[in-house]
Amino acid sequence: MDVLENIDYSAFQGEMMNEIEQMMGQMIDMQIYSTGTYKKYAQYSHIYVNNNSLQVTEKMAHEIKWLIHYVKETHLYLYEDYKDDMLEKFDRVTEYLPYLFDLYDTYTDDDRDDRHYFQPVYALKSIRQLLLPFRDCVDREKFHTTYVDHCVNVLEFYKFTANFMICRLQELEFDIDFMKKNPDRIQGYES
């Protein structure tokens, strides 16, 4: 009996507590993953372009701002050293913009009767063709100002779209983080 009383169970107890905490964390994660909030976040946090997943981030909004500046810029000959990088960025951004609009359009589908529609929608969907004359053109003086203004307006709408989706995703991230910190409140988020 003296031998049993001298055994130190603290290491074993610590291990057991760690395992229990890990199991509880996994259970909480499973509860969170089954909420409508998490499902909505998972559905809208990425766009898929040519079978590649792109996460919707603030970088997209910055790239759209860059594209607006690129379209407005009249002195592109100053950027000759960066031409290849600029064209790659132009192609990449104009390729994912229609997918970003589709994501926004799907997200706001429930508000269809309450929201203002950007007209014409085909201009949004064919943004690449709309901006193609700007892609490799150094002499921007030949573009009519109404055409440039129209392109900038379309891009401003895309910037709004990106910022809108980023804000909605940040709200969902906040809710998910709140659920992790307050597992007893997860029930309020379940669908």
The answer to whether 134 and 155 are in contact (CB under 8 A) is no
Could you give the 3-state DSSP secondary structure of residue 9? coil
The alpha-carbon radius of gyration of the chain (Å, integer) is: 25
Please report, in angstroms and rounded to a whole number, the separation of the first and last CA atoms in the chain.
Answer: 56
Q: pLDDT truncated to tens, each residue of the chain (191 aa)?
A: 455 566 667 777 778 888 888 888 888 889 889 898 999 999 999 999 988 999 999 999 999 999 999 888 876 665 667 778 888 999 999 999 999 988 988 888 765 555 555 555 666 778 888 898 888 777 777 888 899 998 999 999 999 999 999 999 999 999 999 988 988 888 776 65
The model's pTM: 0.78
Residues 44 and 36: beta-carbon distance below 8 Å? no
